[in-house]
Amino acid sequence: MAKLVLGLGSSHTPMLNMPGAHWPRYVERDVGLPLIDKEGRKISYDALLRAAEPGLAAFITEAELAARQERNQAAIHRLEQTLARAALDTLIIVGDDQMEIFQNANLPSSLVYSGKTIRSLPFHDDLDRPDWLLAGFARNCEVSGARDYPVDADLAHHLIDTLIEREFDVAISNALPAGLGEGHAFGFVHKRLMEDQVIPVVPILLNTWYPPNQPSPLRCYRLGQAIAAAVASFPDETRVGILASGGLSHFVVHEDLDRTVIRALRDKDAATLQSLPRDRLNAGSSEIRNWICVAGAVEHLSLDWIEYVPCYRTPAGTGTAMGFASWS
């Protein structure tokens, strides 16, 4: 029988793919973002800046930015080594799609990808991004041409069948639309965590970002439990891992929310994870749902380590709170 032997979590922001000294350049983007404050309310950058604690400026000095990025890179390297040592046959990746593949005309709440391969392409979109930001996005994609990464289609089909039996009416896809590649939540794993060893994957997409069909924290946790049960009933002798891609809080860093999540992960506090306020899980912070799902799947494993690096990029408190973790 298959065994779920490893859990991982990793942020995947383009900020991880550039020097820390470049992070303050985001101010030109953050001014125009539809930001959400720590109470879940829409707020302008200027209003956020007026309300920000003066001490935030200390987090965006050149030395502090470099130190935090060094911690991030060390954590990514540790995840890469952990993944290589685990000798997995398959890695389930729980990530989100930010309208890279799916649009409002078809926006599934949860989806299991079951094609035999999933395609990665060089980065391209129609937004006017500066070169320094394009380089961050591009590192999660192919340098040139297309590459097809292996998918464990047998396990994917078993997950679909089992999840349906457990009353999770998941959407399915066995191919990407023409001209499109996997989203950054999955490209980050292939390009940053599997550079030396490619493992077949099963991509699971959650609609964390877009109302009205975002799964609740309770539903995400129970989905993780159902995934673990499905793996356990898979008849092949398969070593399986599961990885949460994304998070933690952003584009406004919310350390209190993040530390609540981290404490719950350490304490195996399912009740707290299942009852996180939905109005706090919007914009980038919505990707915490991927971690909640993985937490439900790894109840039988122990948390080996977790690294938390809140990375501010402007004195208004915008940025990304990075999270990295491993269970075995």
Identify the CA nearest to 231 among candidates 291, 175, 152: 152
Residue 196 has pLDDT above 80, yes or no: no
Residue 165: partners with Cβ closer than 8 Å, 6 or more residues away: none
Mean pLDDT calculated for residue range 146-164: 97
Number of neighbouring beta carbons within 10 Å of residue 275? 14
| Pairing mode of beta strands 239-245, 3-10 | parallel
CA atoms within 13 A on the CB side of 39: 5
Mean pLDDT rounded to a whole number for the chain: 96
**Which DSSP symbol is given to 13?**
-
- The pTM (predicted TM-score) of the whole model is 0.97
Domain of residue 202: give its range.
Answer: 3-327
Identify the CA nearest to 206 among candidates 279, 287, 283, 141: 287
User: Where would I find the beta strands (DSSP E) of 54-116?
Assistant: 90-96, 110-113
Do residues 208 and 110 make contact, with C-beta atoms less than 8 angstroms apart?
Answer: no
Residue 307 has pLDDT above 90, yes or no: yes
Residue 195 has pLDDT above 80, yes or no: no
Position 1 confidence tier, pLDDT thresholds 50, 70, 90: confident
| Pairing mode of beta strands 239-245, 201-206 | unpaired
The neighbouring-strand residues paired with 36 are 42
Do residues 297 and 7 make contact, with C-beta atoms less than 8 angstroms apart?
Answer: yes
3-class SS at 96? strand
Please write the tens of the pLDDT for every residue from 204-224. Answer: 999 999 999 999 999 999 999
Q: Please give the Cα distance from 9 to 12 (Å, whole number).
A: 10
Mean pLDDT calculated for residue range 72-97: 97
In one letter, which amino acid is 281?
L
* Least confident interval from 40-49, 125-134, 145-154, 297-306: 125-134
Please write the tens of the pLDDT for every residue from 94-124. Answer: 999 999 999 999 999 999 999 999 999 998 8
Number of structural domains in the chain: 1
3-class SS at 310? strand
* Domain CATH for 21: 3.40.830.10
What is the helix (H) or strand (E) element at residue 3, kind and residue range? Answer: strand 3-10
Q: ∠ at Cα 157 (197, 241), nearest 5°?
A: 35
Residue 147 has pLDDT above 90, yes or no: yes
